[in-house]
Structure 1
Amino acid sequence: MDTGVEHAPIGVLEASHDGVVSDVNETAATMLDVDPDAATGEPIGAVVPASVDASVPEAFETALETPVSAEEFYPELDRWLSVDISPTSDAVYVYLRDVTDERRRTQRLESLQSDLHRLTIGNELIADVLGELVRASTREEIARSICQELGETDIYEFAWVGERAVGSDEIVRRAAAGTTGRTLERIDTALDGNVALPESRAIERGEPTVIRSLGENGSVPERIRRAAFADGLGSLLAVPLTYGSSVYGIVGVYAAERDAFSERERKSFGTVGKMAGFAINATRNRSLLSADRVVELTFQLSDPAAPFVTTVAETNARLDVAGAIPQGEHLLCYVDAETATPTAEEIAAVLAEHEAVVETRTITDRDADGSIEVRQRTETPLGHLLSQGGTVRSATFGGDDNRVVVDLPPSEDVRRIADAITRRYDAAVLAKRERRPDERSTREFRNALTDRLTDRQEDALRTAFFAAYFESPRGSSAAEVADALGITGPTLLHHLRAGQRKLLEELFEVTDRPSAVDRP
């Protein structure tokens, strides 16, 4: 090999037509990590390591008459090489160029473009899911909407939604859509046998769980791993459907690629899970409002997990929960206290010591009674009852008679709800009866008001009422009520005025007048 070729900036190998190397220049020796002297006389396959398609040794297996070119990845070298094989009458020359940096730049660019494309589609998809959730009126529609929007798309293979059975760790599949193949069959079998799935862990944690490689993750049951491999599935995102501390179910989204779900996608799907949980909770509440009959359960409660139970035991006071307003992870309660000693202020201080209580505020404090605002976490008996779609008719605590009366729609599995509460807490069901809701005219009036008020207006009015904002003198200022709701004072006053106007219009039956057009 002449001097110019010996020091050329590209790798050059000289070989015979039968593939025996006769010379290697410095660049090729460095690129292939070989000793030039040792390489001389060796077959080409021993000098050039194996690539993905083994183009170099294959080229020498037949009579070379025309040039051959290839660009391949060489695992042993961890490099991409561009190879040009040029035959002459006397020898064959192999020219090598290291194109690793170019390849990786291209791959990064393609990856970024793919991520952008996927993100764009994903955002549009999630917007569609949220839109469908707003329109869904039943839990079945919610499950079906999620599956259809996620499973019947180009970026995911299929999706399924399972609902958590009340009072049990069981998951019941409600809907599925997409190319489910054998994997969904194996999932159904696992659910029937109460076998733990990755989706089950997402429910336990209450947050999205990702399986980056279905075929290699030991936490996935073997039969599902095999089915996923056969169906060409690479990864899974499991998203719990949550409302506050309650987890209603799960959506499992399966993709063909390994590690298909970016951190941004996981966060976006977390929002979908919360919105779906909110929608499920709303359907349960609507079911109760529209029911012709309700099931009334009366519980005797003795569990120290309930702040009111421990407080009355310590203070000998009587506490009546006048109102309970769910606020995501918290439950805002307004409590009437009947006691001469200790005072409402002192009772509030005792309540504040309970681990489930976030904060308390004394609204009124008179000689024999008072009222207290209590913000507690939802991991309490009252919180769990409300999260199951019930409404608390009364909750009275004092002495040995700590009773909670709750209404549930007849469509709910009342026995399971009762069992869930009595297994989790020191509680007993004292009575169960089915009855008609309050007098129909009253119910119709309430429903008419509820239909006219927005959720924010209803929350503002309810909170202000129980916080004694409308009393004279006021038990709470506008700033205190706004702080309880987590909004500004002007926003509170806007919601109160709008809500009061709608209530008065309904009361004085002016809804048919042009001036009473429903305003925000």
Structure 2
Amino acid sequence: MAQQPNDVRQWPDESDLVSERPTLEGSLTESAFEALPTQIALLDGEGDIIHTNRAWRAFGEENEIVGAPDTIGQNYPAVCRGADDEFARQAYEGLTAVLDGERPEFAFEYPCHGPNEKRWFTMRALPFEHGDERYVLVLHLNITDRKLSELRVDAQNDTLETLNDINDAVRDVIDSLLGEVNRGEVEAAVCERLADSRLYQTALTVTAGLTGESGRVRKAAGELDAERVDAGSLLEGGVADAIEDGEPRVFRHAAENEAVPERLRTLADEAAVEAYATVPLAYRGTTYGALVVTARRPDAFDERERTAFTLLGETVGYAIDAIQSKRVLQADALTQLRFDVSDDTEFLVRAADETGASLELEGLVPSAEGVIGYFHVEDADPAALVAAAGDDPTVTNARAVVDGDDDEPGLFECTITGDSALVALSGYGASVVSASVEGGEMELTAVVAPEADVRSIVEAVSAAVPENNLTAKRETEGTITSMTGFRDRLYDELTDRQREILEAAYFGGYFEQPRRSSGTELADSFGVSSPTFHQHLQAALRKLTALSFETAEN
């Protein structure tokens, strides 16, 4: 009950009460006490309760205390001292100090929860003298509404702070792209930003191999000893699933959760981890790993928090993709990879074999769905390739751009969205510089930045098309473009979408006379409206023209 902070209901029996109970019955004071909604008790100089009001008695009756609900005759400090509760001990110490004249007054807040509701009270003890006697007035004020409001505000503030921390991490990642940073520096910055927040305990990034057994922890920050966190347990504990389907995972009660591997449960118990989340680092369908974040808050990673982390994962994935692509465009030295692909799950291999066509890559443009490819066609009608695409789930927007004749090869366009070596390479920031398909075989060459994780790239290609061979790997000069060259400057000016649409328009014959592709056809390849396509194209052409005139003048 509110008369004692710990809600102890065992008050002494009537036989233990003092025989004479001084009362104020019939007085104006008693009438005033009775009218007050606040629970009030009057104590004598020894701490015995000599008077209580109606609110005090009603609370005792409602909470079924043992003994008389008015509790008159009880020694209030003794009751508090006998309770095994930290708030009762605080009340005892404060009351005793007031009764002994060591404190002018005493007040504190305490919880007094019922079986079906949460309640909080403020207790105040105010001493006064009457005649030659010393008394203490004890008040218990119900502050539940105020406390619940404060808790709601605290929860909202925590949520806002959480979102601000995550948004700051997103801004840090975006800002990092303006400087010369590598993937490791981006991942380390994100981990350090989250681990420095009071809301999280540890953050680390993990990558997985082809089978999920050769993963490794790349970067880590925070309280957990990263050397004790093995990548295999993390992969089993949600990381592999997050990488596989691109969806974040949240694990609460980590130390007891049977879905969490035993080793992680042990670490969670030792480090008081209440919850952790696994967030995929993905962009354009390619997942570069996962971010793992731990927290001591049982309610961590609610819906809004998960949404913010999803954005963070996409931003880091975009940064990794942009860094790798930029390195390929600007590097003075590159790593060249050559593959032979004979897997008929690769649409181009299957279609060329079925139609007898010989295909030569003209240009490849990354898209949100996969890659848009343009291929010169010989020994077959491009329309036969369109027919071969049919209802193939891995290919969309297949069309014959140029029918072809004896003087000019045909031109075939399609968007490849499913298992494909071309999609896998593009997803890892590789630039496919050549590809030819004939007789059930595809030979392709790609270049990647020298610091790229070649093993992961090869594994990604094998995951997409198992029947392949890496036939060559060598270092080569960065001949795609000079670091200070025109194309480098142009790519800095263009947005990703402007560059993609400009390249698609060029390879698709939009600028030729007569046009091989209309704006509507190219817009359909990107899944955008014709006005949107032309808006991006005009912006790209304007930047290209401005840069051309500037270069010419220089």
TM over 0.5: yes
User: Structure 1 residues 17 and 238, CA, compared in 2 at 3 Å: closer, same or farther?
Assistant: farther
**Alpha carbons 2:397, 2:524 under 8 Å: kept:** no
Aligned to 2:525: 484
- Distance of 1:361 and 1:168 partners within structure 2: 38
- SS at structure 2 position matched to 1:297: strand
| 1:384 shift after superposition | 0.9
Distance in 2, matches of 1:8 and 1:449, equals: 83
Q: Aligned AA for 1:371?
A: L
Equivalent residue in structure 2 for 1:111, among 144, 155, 158: 155
Deviations for 1:273-300, whole angstroms, at most 9, x for unmatched residues?
Answer: 2232223223333444425353332222
Shift of residue 416, structure 1, vs aligned partner: 5.3
| 2:284 alignment partner in structure 1 | 244
The normalised TM-score by structure 1 is: 0.79
- The secondary structure found in structure 2 opposite 1:473 is coil
Q: Distance in 2 between matches of 1:221 and 1:336?
A: 52
With over 3 angstroms needed to count, the CA separation of the structure-2 counterparts of 1:301 and 1:23, relative to structure 1, is farther
Alignment partner of 1:418 out of 446, 458, 463: 458
| Offset, 1:513 | 2.7
C-alpha contact (below 8 Å) 2:433/2:447 kept by paired residues: yes
Kept after mapping to 2: 8 A contact 1:210/1:237: yes
Q: Which residue is equivalent to 1:432?
A: 472
Specify whether residues 91 and 444 from structure 1 end up closer, same or farther in structure 2 by C-alpha distance, changes over 3 A only: closer
DSSP-derived class of the 1:238 partner: strand
Does 2:392 align with 1:350?
A: no
Q: Deviations over 1:36-95 (max 9, x none)?
A: 76545888659x998651145666788944554332101346211222346785987643
Residue pairs, 1:32-43, within 5 angstroms: 32=60, 33-35=62-64, 38-39=68-69
CA 1:75/1:9 → structure 2, altered by over 3 Å: closer, same or farther? closer
Q: Output the CA distance in 2 between the equivalents of 1:65 and 1:513.
A: 94
Cα 1:295–1:268, aligned 2, differ >3 Å: closer, same or farther? same
* Structure 2 Cα separation of the partners of residues 360 and 446 of structure 1: 37
> Does residue 307 of the first structure (1) align with residue 347 of the second (2)?
yes
Where do 1:7-26 residues align within 5 Å? 8-13=36-41, 25-26=53-54
CA–CA separation in structure 1 for the residues paired with 2:126 and 2:119: 22
Compute the displacement of 1:445 (Å).
9.7
Relative to structure 1, the CA distance from residue 373 to residue 31 in structure 2 (aligned partners, 3 Å threshold; closer, same or farther) is farther
Q: Identify the range of structure 1 (67-76 vs 98-107) with the bigger mean alpha-carbon deviation.
A: 67-76
Q: Which residue of 2 aligns with 1:452?
A: 490
> Which of 370, 373, 376 does residue 333 from structure 1 map onto?
373
- Alpha-carbon deviations, 1:229-282, whole Å to 9, x = none? 655655444332212222112333344544344544433333332232223223
The superposition leaves residues 171-191 of structure 1 with CA deviations (integer Å, 9 ceiling, x where unpaired) of 3233334xx33443432xx22
Identity %: 25
- Tell me whether 295-304 or 493-502 shows the greater mean CA deviation: 493-502
What letter corresponds to residue 53 of structure 1 in structure 2?
Answer: F
Question: How far 1:327 moved relative to its partner?
Answer: 1.6
Q: Are the equivalent residues in 1 in contact too, given 2:39–2:141 (CA < 8 A)?
A: yes
Alignment partner of 2:87: what SS?
Answer: coil
Q: Per the alignment, do residues 156 and 81 of structure 1 end up closer, same or farther by CA in structure 2, a change over 3 Å counting? A: same
1:147 aligns with 2:175: no
Structure 1 partner of 2:9: none
Deviation string for 1:121-151 (max 9, x for gaps)?
A: 5534432332124424322322233334443
Partner of 2:59: 31
Q: Deviations over 1:299-333 (max 9, x none)?
A: 222232x2323434544444444222112332212
Residues in 2 aligned to 1:278 and 1:459: alpha-carbon distance in whole angstroms: 15
Identify if the C-alpha distance between structure 1 residues 58 and 498 changes in structure 2 by more than 3 Å, giving closer, same or farther.
closer
Task: Give the match for residue 186 of structure 1.
Answer: 228
Aligned to 1:53: 87
Tell me, what secondary structure is at the counterpart of 1:75? coil
2:481, 2:174 → 1: CA distance?
31
| Distance in 2 between residues matched to 1:455 and 1:63, nearest whole Å | 75
Determine the structure 1 residue equivalent to 2:435. 395
8 Å contact kept, 1:11–1:95: yes
- Counterpart of 1:100, as a letter, is T
Secondary structure of 2:244's counterpart equals helix
Given the superposition, is the C-alpha separation of residues 215 and 75 from structure 1 closer, same or farther in structure 2, using an over 3 Å criterion? farther
Give the Cα separation in 1 of the matches to 2:164 and 2:125. 44
Q: Is the Cα–Cα contact under 8 Å of residues 292 and 437 in structure 1 kept in the other structure?
A: yes
Work out the CA distance in 2 between the residues paired with 1:167 and 1:193.
14
Amino acid at match of 2:226: L
Does the Cα contact within 8 Å between 1:359 and 1:374 map onto a contact in 2? yes
Residue 462 (structure 1) shift: 1.6
The answer (yes or no) to whether the contact 2:165–2:194 under 8 Å persists in 1 is no
Please say if residues 51 and 75 of structure 1, whose CA atoms lie closer than 8 Å, have aligned partners that are also in contact.
Answer: no
Q: 1:271 to 1:431 in 2, by over 3 A?
A: same
Q: Work out the CA distance in 1 between the residues paired with 2:137 and 2:84.
A: 18
Whole-angstrom CA distance in 1 between matches of 2:379 and 2:231: 52
**Does structure 1 retain, via aligned residues, the 8 Å contact 2:169–2:194?**
yes
When Rg is computed on C-alpha atoms for both structures, the one with the higher figure is: 2
Contact 1:165 1:171 in 2 (8 A): yes
Distance (whole Å) between structure 1 residues aligned to residue 344 and residue 84 of structure 2: 70
> Is residue 167–residue 420 contact of structure 1 (8 Å, CA) maintained in 2?
no
Partner SS state of residue 439, structure 2: coil
Secondary structure of the equivalent of 1:111?
helix
Which one-letter code corresponds to 1:176 in the other structure?
Answer: A
Match of 2:512 in 1: 471
Partner of 1:517: none
Q: Calculate the aligned-residue CA RMSD, in Å.
A: 4.1
Could you tell me which residue of structure 2 aligns to residue 495 of structure 1? 540
Alignment of 1:44-443 (within 5 A): 45=79, 53-54=87-88, 55-56=90-91, 64-65=99-100, 68-76=106-114, 78-85=118-125, 94-120=138-164, 122-153=166-197, 156-165=200-209, 168-177=212-221, 180-187=222-229, 190-191=230-231, 196-215=236-255, 217-221=257-261, 224=264, 227=267, 231=271, 234-261=274-301, 263-289=303-329, 290-292=331-333, 294-304=335-345, 306-338=346-378, 343-345=381-383, 347-366=385-404, 370-377=410-417, 379-409=419-449, 411-414=451-454, 417-422=457-462, 424-429=464-469, 431-434=471-474, 436-437=476-477
Instruction: Quote the Cα distance in structure 2 between the aligned partners of 1:119 and 1:422.
Output: 38
In the aligned structure 2, how far is the partner of 1:31 from the partner of 1:359?
75
TM-score (norm 2): 0.75
How many residue pairs match? The answer is 500
